[in-house]
Amino acid sequence: MKKDLHPKVYTTKVRCACGYEFESKSTVGEELGVEICSHCHPFFTGEQRFVDSAGRIDRFRKKYAGLQK
With beta carbons less than 8 A apart as the criterion, state whether 31 and 15 touch. yes
Judge whether 8 is annotated as a binding position.
no
66 carries a ligand binding annotation? no
Residue 18 among known ligand-binding residues? yes
Note the Cα 31 to chain centre separation in Å: 15
25 annotated ligand binder: no
Residue set of the binding site for Zn(2+): 16, 18, 37, 40
Residue set of the binding site: 16, 18, 37, 40
